[in-house]
Structure 1
Amino acid sequence: MRRNQSETNETIQLLLKVARAHFTEKGFANTTLEEVADHANVTRGALYHHFKNKQGLFLAVLDLVQTEIGQRVEEEADRSDDPWEQLLLGCRAFIAAVVETQNKRIMLIDGPSVVGWEAWREMDEQNSMSHLSEQLVVLQEKGVIKPVSVDAMTHAISGALNECSLWVAQLPETAGSLEETMEVITGMLNGFKVSVL
């Protein structure tokens, strides 16, 4: 029984890897399940057994991308012991990860239109936004930021990060625009800081 479960997991991971490559290169509309099954060397029946349709497969890939980006945000933030620096590192990591070739089309272009805005936002809330919210709570408890609504702050900052990611992703050179974006994001975040006299 264990062997069958292990084989099933391997098949699912292979299908996700192959589908991610196809969705990245061709986009959702131009990817066919037949191609994914062929390149994964599985039958269409096996693919349909694990994912009921192309949208279901895309949703699983998008969830994988969202989870990976959330983990990267957390890992980058953990490079510092200073909570404020963690916030800035996390914001930078989010934008840098989202605009990478293997993520941007799935996350920014096809994601909201294929799964719907509400589902896309729910996935975002479970991953990157949850890390952001947790960090803002820590900063507020330490008296670093003003006692305003953490929910409102989380949505405002997340919205800015998503919009900036869309902007950076459209530019031919991302390194310079990422620096410009972080300068603006840092200035915005500084507005939430408690003034030290």
Structure 2
Amino acid sequence: MATKVARRTQAERTEATTAALVEAARELFARDGYDATSLDAVAARAGVTKGAVYHHFDGKRQLFEAVFSREVERMVAPLAAAYGRKKDPWDAFGAACRAFLDECLDPGYQRIVLLDAAAAIGWEQIRHLESPLLELMEVAIARAADAGRIAKRRPGPLAHFLYGALCETAMIVARSDDQKTAHREAVTEIGRVLGGLAST
């Protein structure tokens, strides 16, 4: 019994330390960017030694991947909430797309996911870590097709097409000098595209 308690306590400590490191790294990556953030700074912010960082992560890249993954996980809730507020499956899909663009206005998300990730971890790893969002899109597209709201199709190609468009649009907004206008235009255009795909 004592051994089980000790193991559980050790697991809890490990989880707490990992969470503290990811939280600290998120703050620093969002504020200073990937290149300017050191593991020494992350350790100091988390209140642990640099050795503790290396005990849980191979290096800065792996730590960034953990932060990136958490950003993807965080994105799921507002998208699901927006989707759930609409009864029509294609309207729900459009609401989730607009919610995605809204969430991409967060400065920290912009810096980590839209601006720094390509250089920090590369396109292939980005797409691997973002797969939960793509899978949600495929499910939503399949539901809309089954309901006759869009033409019958295999959902994967359209999901990749629209997700790529959304990500590119979000990156353009993040780099714009007038994000408010760029975002409004982006939301309008995605509405037009989705409207064009809808069955009449």
Instruction: With the length of structure 2 as denominator, give the TM-score of the two structures.
Output: 0.91
- Who is 1:163 aligned against? 168
C-alpha displacement of 1:87 = 0.7
2:14 to 8, 12, 15: 8
Aligned-partner Cα distance in 2 for 1:79–1:171: 30
Aligned-partner Cα distance in 2 for 1:92–1:22: 28
Aligned-partner Cα distance in 2 for 1:43–1:8: 14
C-alpha displacement of 1:159 = 1.2
Aligned-partner Cα distance in 1 for 2:190–2:152: 19
- Who is 1:54 aligned against? 60
The alignment status of 1:122 with 2:120, answered yes or no, reads: no
2:148 to 121, 143, 146: 143
Uncovered stretches (5+) of structure 2, i.e. residues with no partner: 1-6
C-alpha displacement of 1:115 = 1.0
Alpha-carbon displacement from aligned partner over 1:27-73 (angstroms, at most 9, x marks no partner): 11110001110111101111111011011101110111111113321
Aligned-partner Cα distance in 2 for 1:153–1:141: 15
Say which SS state the counterpart of residue 194 (structure 1) adopts: coil
C-alpha displacement of 1:172 = 4.0
Aligned runs of 1:1-197 on 2, under 5 Å?
1-124=7-130, 126-195=131-200
C-alpha displacement of 1:127 = 2.0
Give the percent of matched residue pairs that are identical in Structure 1 and Structure 2: 28
Which amino acid in the other structure matches residue 93 of structure 1? A
Aligned-partner Cα distance in 2 for 1:142–1:156: 21
Alpha-carbon displacement from aligned partner over 1:99-121 (angstroms, at most 9, x marks no partner): 31121111011112211111101
Uncovered stretches (5+) of structure 1, i.e. residues with no partner: none
Aligned-partner Cα distance in 2 for 1:39–1:194: 53
C-alpha displacement of 1:148 = 3.2
- Who is 2:3 aligned against? none
Q: Which piece of structure 1 moves more, 13-22 or 183-192?
A: 183-192
Aligned-partner Cα distance in 1 for 2:111–2:196: 32
Say which SS state the counterpart of residue 191 (structure 1) adopts: helix
Say which SS state the counterpart of residue 197 (structure 2) adopts: coil
Task: Number of aligned residue pairs: give it.
Answer: 194
Decide whether the 8 Å contact of 2:173 with 2:183 is kept in 1. Answer: yes
Aligned-partner Cα distance in 2 for 1:76–1:14: 30
Give RMSD over aligned pairs. 1.4
Which amino acid in the other structure matches residue 128 of structure 1? L
